[in-house]
Amino acid sequence: MQRFIFLRVLQSIVALLVISAVVFALARVTGDPVAILLPEDASPKVVEQVREKWGLDQPIYVQYARYIGNFVTGDFGEAWAYGGVPITELIARRLPNTIYLASFAWIVSAAIALPIGVLVAVKKDSAFDWAGKIVALIGQSAPSFAIGLILMWIFAVILGWLPTSGNADGFKSIILPGVALGYYNVAAVMRLTRSSMLEVLDTEYVKLARIKGMPERKVIWKHCFRNALIVPFTYMGLIGAVLLTGSVVIETVFVWPGLGDLAIDAIRNRDFPVIQSIVILFAAFYIFINLMVDVMYAYLNPRIRY
């Protein structure tokens, strides 16, 4: 087990280093950062001073090594387009909003998908089952921004029940972006729960419980549901990372003040340090959650350690 964990941690570190190197290189392919920061008529002396200030006069490998060293210590540098504000300060303001949104979407996914997945499995081939399949198909086919716009049009524009953007209205503000972000995963978890339930319903111990006269509700929720949760819960551990890193589009649509919205602003302003920091931070979140899921799964299923 220790060897397995060591190898997975090593793989995670290598993956994060590769991602950081690619992001660092791509950020500089678009052009000279100094040319973006300064007006066209800037004097050579000013250009040289700016290069020296931001460390852009150093070789690219020196810049990368220094960036990684600072990143590990929590120093993400300064934001070019925000008056030199420390990037850690910008992220600290926005990260709680992104975590809040992702957590709400995760809860929505679990609260809706698990019970409906059980019900459509129990009522296989019924009208309820077919309705569930249609809902799942729509959820996995439609992009999240389209779902968000439809929800906004119905509940904010037509009915006027919920706000269209921002987070000034408290809990009401998170309902539309949270549901829009979680809807895709509702569909995926519902389908996984349905297929797992159908497998469990066909097992011998479930048939034996029914023969003994155990109430159907107890058979479903005590025997079937518990044993069918392994696959959906494993997937839900992974979608925690997906929700956290996949909120960029939804945050933009609903003007939610999170890291995704900050990333889009940084792209518009060509603020490379902010873009790099957010992308690497998202990658670190995703890799870490995947690592935790792999370790947990290896603990539960010793066969995959080898």
Domain boundaries, the chain: 94-258
pLDDT at 39: 66
pLDDT at 305: 52
Q: What 3-state DSSP class applies to 142?
A: coil
Tens of pLDDT along the chain (306 residues) come to: 777 777 788 888 888 889 888 888 887 776 666 666 666 666 777 777 777 777 777 777 888 888 888 888 887 878 877 777 888 888 888 889 888 888 898 888 888 888 888 888 877 777 777 887 787 777 777 788 888 888 888 988 888 888 887 777 778 888 888 888 888 788 888 888 888 888 877 777 777 777 777 777 777 777 777 777 777 877 777 777 777 777 788 888 888 888 888 888 888 887 888 888 888 888 888 888 878 877 776 666 555 555
- Per residue in 172-205, is it b (16+ CB within 10 Å) or e — as a string? ebbbbbbbbbbbbbbbbbbbbbbebbeebbeeee
CATH 1.10.3720.10 fits 94-258, yes or no: yes
pLDDT at 301: 58
pTM: 0.77
Residues 6+ apart with CB under 8 A from 9: 291
pLDDT at 38: 67
- Report whether 293 contacts 237 (CB < 8 A): yes
pLDDT at 41: 67
Amino acid of residue 217: R
d(CA 44, CA 292): 51
